[in-house]
A and B are shown apart, each in its own frame.
Chain A
Amino acid sequence: EPEVTQTPSHQVTQMGQEVILRCVPISNHLYFYWYRQILGQKVEFLVSFYNNEISEKSEIFDDQFSVERPDGSNFTLKIRSTKLEDSAMYFCASSDSLTAIGELFFGEGSRLTVL
């Protein structure tokens, strides 16, 4: 069964460092998303991406964040200068929203720890 894969599964970084989280969405999907879950808290929307551009972003997704689809398969989230409060589990998701509104396929997440 097709799946969304994310790397790394866990990254530890120092405050102020740049981090890139990588995702390979399901190959025929058109819409891509990043969500995050701070430990013990709710899952929060960060950004959605369609047709090589951001279609919507949340207040959390400030200038320190960026997303890119550098080739036909990868979808990346970059945090330019990490802060302690960026520590969270980051989930990538993809969907074929033409037929399945809200039916997102999530990866297993990348845990980011900022020290």
Chain B
Amino acid sequence: AQKVTQAQTEISVVEKEDVTLDCVYETRDTTYYLFWYKQPPSGELVFLIRRNSFDEQNEISGRYSWNFQKSTSSFNFTITASQVVDSAVYFCALSEDDTGANSKLTFGKGITLSVRP
């Protein structure tokens, strides 16, 4: 069965600090997808990134970067030079479906990030 573990529950940093959010996953499938979602105070879940199991290249998007390592079953998310607007709950998620017909996501418990001015 698939499982996503986000061991950190709450992280508090001061603005401009870098912060890394950890995610470890379990799956028996060789084809799977990993995701990060952000849940701001308004409540909706906002898609940030998708990675498929065959693409271990790290990705950078502005201040955000993701490190996918199959050897350790991890998909970590780093925010560089954090800002107050980054304060949110961040969820890592996994999908074993490779057809696209069912985006059934298994979520981790989420990490509450607080960025203080």
Report yes or no: A102 in contact with B42, Cβ–Cβ below 8 A. no
Q: Which residues of A contact B (CB under 8 A)?
A: 4, 31, 33, 35, 41-45, 48, 50, 55-56, 58, 89, 91, 93, 95, 97-98, 100-109
User: For B93, what are the chain A residues with a Cβ–Cβ distance below 8 Å?
Assistant: 43, 102
Report yes or no: A48 in contact with B104, Cβ–Cβ below 8 A. yes
Which chain B residues in 65-117 approach chain A with CB under 8 Å? 91, 93, 95, 97-98, 100-110
A48→B93 CA distance, assembly (Å):
16
Given contacts A42-B108, A42-B110, contact A102 B103 (CB under 8 A): yes
Interchain CB contact (< 8 A) of B104 among A45, A103, A108:
A45
Q: Which residues of B contact A (CB under 8 A)?
A: 33, 35, 37, 42-47, 50, 91, 93, 95, 97-98, 100-110
Report yes or no: B33 in contact with A45, Cβ–Cβ below 8 A. no
Count chain A CB atoms within 10 A of each CB in B46, B95, B107 and give the residue with the most.
B107
Report yes or no: A102 in contact with B45, Cβ–Cβ below 8 A. no
Report yes or no: B43 in contact with A108, Cβ–Cβ below 8 A. yes
A89→B47 CA distance, assembly (Å):
18
A50→B33 CA distance, assembly (Å):
20
Report yes or no: B105 in contact with A103, Cβ–Cβ below 8 A. no
Interchain CB contact (< 8 A) of B102 among A35, A44, A55:
A55
CB nearest to B47 among chain A residues? A103
A102→B33 CA distance, assembly (Å):
8
Chain A min CB distance to B97 (Å): 8
Chain B min CB distance to A98 (Å): 6
User: For B103, what are the chain A residues with a Cβ–Cβ distance below 8 Å?
Assistant: 31, 33, 48, 95, 97, 101-104
A43→B42 CA distance, assembly (Å):
16
Report yes or no: A56 in contact with B102, Cβ–Cβ below 8 A. yes
A18→B106 CA distance, assembly (Å):
28
Interchain CB contact (< 8 A) of A44 among B47, B101, B107:
B107
Report yes or no: A31 in contact with B101, Cβ–Cβ below 8 A. yes
User: For A33, what are the chain B residues with a Cβ–Cβ distance below 8 Å?
Assistant: 103
Given contacts A101-B95, A103-B50, contact A91 B45 (CB under 8 A): yes
A33→B97 CA distance, assembly (Å):
15
Report yes or no: A101 in contact with B44, Cβ–Cβ below 8 A. no
User: For B43, what are the chain A residues with a Cβ–Cβ distance below 8 Å?
Assistant: 89, 108-109
